A and B are shown apart, each in its own frame.
Chain A
Amino acid sequence: QVHLVESGGGVVQPGRSLRLSCAASGFTFTTYTMHWVRQAPGKGLEWVAVLVYDGRNKYYADSVKGRFTISRDTSKNTLYLQMDSLRDEDTAVYYCARTRGPYSSGWYFDYWGQGSLVTVSS
């Protein structure tokens, strides 16, 4: 049974940092490409970042490039999103999501976490 459980959300002031975690279970974590996707209040879905299964290749949306960092700890089967220099517009529910199929180059998502709310406000 695949499970993705996010944690680490909360209220943070603009300019500050926050780190989200996504604990994965039920599959071989190191063989899957993993993503972060967010949804701002009343808005649609926005892809944020990806960590390819090789653990080396990472890509970001332009809106977060240079401020957010995706990483993983394979000993803990956990995906992270380090969010620095947060802005009001980063307020959203953040989901971690798994690419369907191991070693897959088709980047769509078959499993999602329940989401973690990040609120950036002074």
Chain B
Amino acid sequence: AIQLTQSPSSLSASVGDRVTISCRASQGITSALAWYQKKPGKAPKLLLYDASSLESGVPSRFSGSGSGTDFTLTISSLQPEDFATYYCQQFDNYPPLTFGGGTKVEIK
């Protein structure tokens, strides 16, 4: 199974900061990567797919990049509603589908 390693596992940031989250795959997955936002008590929300395609309705401050084994989620200007945990998920080689361990974005 492909393993996804996210870093950092948590970070503290202020409103307006630029935030970058990394996701590294244990083997190449072309661009078959999605990013989700998860808040406590809520269902995950799809942010990006195919590594860099923005899901409809998601603010443009969210962007994604990368291919192969290294991927990045960037929030250009952190907003109060963005404090959450973010997960990457690969869909290149399955089953099983796999998720990264998550990155918790907290308020500084």
Contacts and interface: CB of A to CB of B under 8 A. Distances in A.
A60 B96 CA distance: 7
Given A62-B96, A106-B91, A45 B38 contact: yes
A107 B46 contact: no
A45 B95 contact: no
Interface stretch (A7-15, A74-82, A84-92, A108-116): A108-116
Interface band, chain A: 20 to 34
Contact of A60 (B55, B87, B95, B101): B95
Contacts of A95: 43-44
Contacts, number: 60
Given A44-B102, A106-B32, A114-B43, 17 more contacts: A37-B44, A44-B99, A44-B101, A45-B36, A45-B38, A45-B89, A45-B99, A47-B96, A47-B97, A47-B98, A50-B97, A59-B94, A59-B95, A62-B96, A100-B46, A109-B89, A113-B43
29 contacts: A37-B44, A44-B87, A44-B99, A44-B101, A44-B102, A45-B36, A45-B87, A45-B89, A45-B99, A45-B102, A47-B96, A59-B94, A59-B95, A60-B95, A61-B96, A62-B96, A95-B43, A95-B44, A100-B49, A107-B91, A107-B97, A108-B34, A109-B34, A109-B44, A109-B46, A109-B89, A110-B46, A114-B43, A115-B43
